[in-house]
Amino acid sequence: MDTLLSAADSTRILKTTKDILNVDIFAAGTDTTSTNIEWAISELVKHPRVMKKLQQEVTEVANGRSMVSEDDLDKMKYLKAVIKETLRFHIPLPLLVQRESMQDVEIMGYNIAAGTRVVINAWALGRDPSLWKESEEFRPERFLNSSKDYKGFDYEFIPFGAGRRGCPGIQFAIAVNEIAIANLVYKYDLGLPQGKGGEELDMSEVTGLTTHRKFPLHLVATPRF
Ligand code: HEM
């Protein structure tokens, strides 16, 4: 016999589902985004040449205004390349969400039985020297004049995953990160404390669900204007 839920139970279930969704989206959208910004700034401090080139681009586009605006971002090709290179080199979510094979398949000599859970190591794809020249170098230029994108069609570069369960927050994440990084480097010169050079910055990673810096990033921010 069908059981009808009371109005109070239905409301409670709907509220719980909404809470779970909110928590999921909050968790999926905050740690990943802040990790990407922290690694981007770390690499910029580590590579003054890249920082200088980015500051030049941002300063030129912002053209004396007090802040970089969203409308400016499309003109910042190097900024986009810096973010892509950061996502390749320091992928926030190194292992994608597990998939379950729906049927027996053979891929590149591996037999995968129906029901097997498969984990994609997107970190390894981004560092594979057979897929990327000088894969252990932070070089945003590799993404200039390249159609390679993170939207899930170039399988060597899938920081947001791919397919139906790929990240639904890509556009939001990229917009937030572009505006945050552009404004940080536009408004401040960033350097290590006690006048240390960027080459001294320890770039060790801690493995986990998201790939964080092993040591917190402590910087001195000097206003540029
Ligand atoms: C730099 C920032 C971000 C990165 C690198 C990232 C990366 C990812 C990855 C790798 C997945 C798993 C995709 C797969 O297995 O194919 C994922 C899933 C997801 N992401 Fe993001 N994400 C970011 C930001 C965001 C933001 C800002 C939101 C929401 C506002 C968000 C919401 C989600 C949700 C809800 C899922 C689960 C999708 C599903 O299971 O169908 N993410 N993300």
93 in contact with ligand 1, CB cutoff 6 A: yes
Q: Is 84 exposed, middle or buried (0-12, 13-18, 19+ CB in 10 A)?
A: buried
What pairs with residue 223 in β-bridges? 188
Nearest residue to 184 via CA among 11, 37, 5: 37
Q: pLDDT of 39-81, one tens digit each?
A: 999 999 999 999 999 999 999 999 999 999 999 999 999 999 9
Q: Model's pTM, two decimal places?
A: 0.91
Q: What SS3 state is found at 207?
A: coil
* Chain mean pLDDT for the chain: 93
When comparing pLDDT for 156 and 2, which is higher? 156
Q: Is the pLDDT of residue 204 over 90?
A: yes
Q: Which tokens go with 59?
A: 């300063």
Residue of 21, 160, 211 best suited for mutating to test ligand 1, as the one with most atoms within 8 Å of CB: 160
37 in contact with ligand 1, CB cutoff 6 A: no
126 in contact with ligand 1, CB cutoff 6 A: no
| Residue 34, CA distances (Å) to 15, 18, 120, 178, 220 in order | 28, 24, 23, 12, 19
167: CA distance to ligand 1 center in Å?
A: 4
pLDDT band at 22 (very low <50, low <70, confident <90, very high): low
What pLDDT does residue 2 have? 56
